[in-house]
Amino acid sequence: MREEDPVCFLPLHHNWFHILLSLVGAEQHGYGIMHEVLDRTNGTIRIWPATLYGSLKRLIADGLIEESDERPVAELDDARRRYYRLTRLGRTVLELECERLQQMVRMMQKKRRQEACQ
């Protein structure tokens, strides 16, 4: 596991960003994460299974997510599925990354305003 200083994870790899974002507010299994990313990005970002499961392993090892012991009702679930949730560290890292991205957008907007005034 890496240091628990959230800043050491920044900038966050874009796949990791989308995986962590998919886990905000709800636990998900891998297939659900893949489809949520695809839906949320209107099909512009697809995380393939090999990439997803490699990323999930790394996110677990780094303490950003963890497997959940909680399961949906058996009739609505496949026993082979593993569910994942954000850890406190993962949520903090995601929030810091969102702030970093917002700052980049603000810088670009400032540059555009400066350019328009010239």
- Nearest partner of 103 among 11, 36, 17, judged by Cα: 11
Q: What is the pLDDT of residues 59-89, one digit of tens each?
A: 999 999 999 887 655 555 666 778 999 999 9
pLDDT of residue 3: 59
pLDDT of residue 115: 86
Which residues of the chain form beta strands (DSSP E)?
28-29, 65-67, 83-86
Compute the distance between CA of residue 22 and CA of residue 35 in angstroms, rounded to an integer. 10
Compute the distance between CA of residue 31 and CA of residue 12 in angstroms, rounded to an integer. 22
Query: Which domains are seen in the chain, by residue range?
Result: 11-117 (1.10.10.10)
Amino acid at 100: R
Pairing of strands 83-86, 28-29: antiparallel
Compute the distance between CA of residue 118 and CA of residue 116 in angstroms, rounded to an integer. 6
